[in-house]
Amino acid sequence: MNTPPNKPATQPKQPAFWLALALILGLIGWWFYASPRQAPDAPGQTVTAVLPAGSEIAVFAGGCFWCTEADFDKVPGVLATTSGYTGGKTANPTYAEVSSHTTGHAEAVQVVFDPSQVSYRQLVDYFWHTIDPTVKDRQFCDIGTPYRTAIFATSPEQLQTAQASRAALEASKPFPEPIVTQLLMADDFYPAEAEHQNYHQVNPVRYDFYRQGCGRDARLAQLWGAKAKP
């Protein structure tokens, strides 16, 4: 690195106090980043809740489900969101099992919405701007198949809508890389452990530290510019 003009090429060593303080702050940061991602091994179960009259379900995988849930909670017309697991082969998976990359599941969010207030196409179009659709089996600092991006359509009509949305995006995207997000028919959805539900509301400090530390919003701004949805 070039030395700025009129600045000595070498700097005095920092006192031991400041080095110790930096170490302590680093340990605190590591604790905030790492500890929330651990959860008890309580199994989830397939959603069987009765839906509000006239509502519909959409399922999206956008990397860390804390962030995807937080993103969709901002959308008018979204009635409820649930973090969970889908797309794999293991029934009632735990967080630890999914994180081991052996179940085939992705972290995902089930979105209950009122189609009279927000259409499925609007949700899909919104979803693109909350993810990096150019990378496979990764989102930001989370790596592996549990963090792949996917749209899990709950009907043939939803699948056609998602395909049309992707085609329009391919024609207008502001980046040269291809879109690799999967478009699939939905499979069983298993809610995640209670510790993961509404995480951005229950643990806002840890959530913000994780999201910013992962570089999610910075990458979204780089990809989408003003269209990014942080």
Residues annotated as catalytic are 64
Structure tokens at 99: 């994180």
Three-class DSSP labels, the chain: CCCCCCCCCCCCCCCHHHHHHHHHHHHHHHHHHHHHHCCCCCCCCCCCCCCCCCCEEEEEEECCHHHHHHHHHCCCCEEEEEEEEECCCCCCCCHHHHHCCCCCCEEEEEEEECCCCCCHHHHHHHHHCCCCCCCCCEECCEECHHHCEEEEECCHHHHHHHHHHHHHHHHHCCCCCCCCCEEEECCCEEECCHHHCCHHHHCHHHHHHHHHHCCHHHHHHHHHHHHCCC
Nearest to 85 by CA among 207, 197, 179: 197
C-alpha–C-alpha distance, residues 72 and 95, integer Å: 21
35 contacts 28 by C-beta, under 8 angstroms = no
Rg (C-alpha) for the chain, rounded Å, is: 20
